[in-house]
Amino acid sequence: MSGRDFRPADTATSPKIAILSESAARQYFPGENSIGRHVRFTDDNPTDVEIVGVVKDILTEFRQEEDSRRSARAAYIPFTQAPPTMTGQAVVEVRTAERPATVAAPIREAAQALDQGLPIGTVETQGEVVTYSLREQRSLTQLTGVLGLLALLLASIGLYGTMSHSVGRRTREIGIRMALGAERQKVMNMVLRGGMRLAFAGIGLGVPLAAGVSRLISSQLYGLSAADPLTFITVSLLLAGVSLLATYIPARRAMRVDPMVALRYE
C-alpha cells in the first residue's frame, strides 16, 4: 500500500526493518505516516526496527469479527533478520496444476537434495489448512444441525399427533359428511387444509422471529447475511413439506372411514 518490499540487501548485518499490516499501522500510528518510523519489538528483538512498508490485512484463521481484526494486526520482518526464537523454520508455498499429493514427494526430494540433514515438516494443501482452521465452527455447525433435525422431528410428531387426534374426534362428523354424499377426496382435502393452516401459521410466526434472533449470531456468519432470503425460503419449504407429510397420513385415514362405522362411533 505504501513504502517498499523486502530487498536482497536486507541482510542480517543491515539495519533492521519491518513491514506493518494496515491494521497495525492504523493502531500504532493513528492518522500518521508510519513509513520511516521506528518501533521496538521488546518480546523477541530489543533493537529498533524501521518501518519501510505497509501492506493490506490478511486473516490467518476464521474467527469472530473482533478476533479477526486483532489477528490482522501483524508485522513482517526479513527471514535473514529473524530473532533466535524464529530462526530455523520456514514455510514454502507451492502452486501446482497437478494434484497436491503427486508433488509432495518431489518437493521433499528437492529439499533433501539441498541439505541431507534438513528436517521436513508436514506438507498440507490449502484446503486442509482451511479445514483445520474451521474445525471449531464445523463442530458447532454439526451440533446445531443435529439439534435442528431433532426439533424438526419433534415438530412433525407433534403435528401428526394433533391431526390424528383431530381426525379421531371428527370421525362421526366425517361419517355424516360421507353419508350425505361428500366425496372421499374432498374429505381428505379438508383434513389436509386444517393441518397446513397450522403449519403455515407456525412458519408465519417463526420466520420473523428467526430473522430477529439471527442478528445475534451475525458475527459467526461468513459470506452469508443474517437475513439471507434463500436460507429462509429453503427452510420454510422444508417445514411445509414435512408438515404436509405429517398431515397426509391422518388425512388418508379419514378418507377411508366407513360411513356406517363412523355413524356408530362414540
Closest CA to 162 of 151, 154, 152: 154
Q: Whole-angstrom Cα distance, residue 186 to residue 192?
A: 10
Residues 130-168: tens digit of each pLDDT: 888 778 878 888 898 899 889 888 887 887 787 777 777
Residues 6 or more apart whose CB falls under 8 angstroms from that of 242 comprise 152, 155, 156
Closest CA to 243 of 211, 209, 203: 203
Per-range mean pLDDT, top range of 33-37, 241-245, 249-253: 33-37
Residues 6 or more apart whose CB falls under 8 angstroms from that of 47 comprise 16, 40
Q: Whole-angstrom Cα distance, residue 226 to residue 218?
A: 5
Cell numbers at 194, concatenated: 386444517
Q: Is 142 exposed, middle or buried (0-12, 13-18, 19+ CB in 10 A)?
A: exposed
Q: Give me the mean pLDDT over the 190-218 stretch.
A: 80
Cell numbers at 188, concatenated: 381428505
Domain extents in the chain: 2-81, 133-263
| pLDDT tier for residue 223 given thresholds of 50, 70 and 90 | low
Residues 6 or more apart whose CB falls under 8 angstroms from that of 263 comprise 172, 175, 176, 179
pTM: 0.52
CB of 46 closer than 8 Å to CB of 65: no
Residues 6 or more apart whose CB falls under 8 angstroms from that of 63 comprise 71
Would you state the pLDDT for residue 147? 92
The residue to which cell 484463521 is assigned: 61
Q: Whole-angstrom Cα distance, residue 210 to residue 75?
A: 41
Would you state the pLDDT for residue 52? 92
Residues 68-82: tens digit of each pLDDT: 555 678 888 888 887
Q: Compute and round to an integer the Cα radius of gyration of the chain.
A: 33
Would you state the pLDDT for residue 86? 66
Residues 5-38: tens digit of each pLDDT: 998 988 888 888 999 998 888 888 888 888 888 8
Q: Whole-angstrom Cα distance, residue 251 to residue 243?
A: 12
pLDDT at 203 over 80: yes
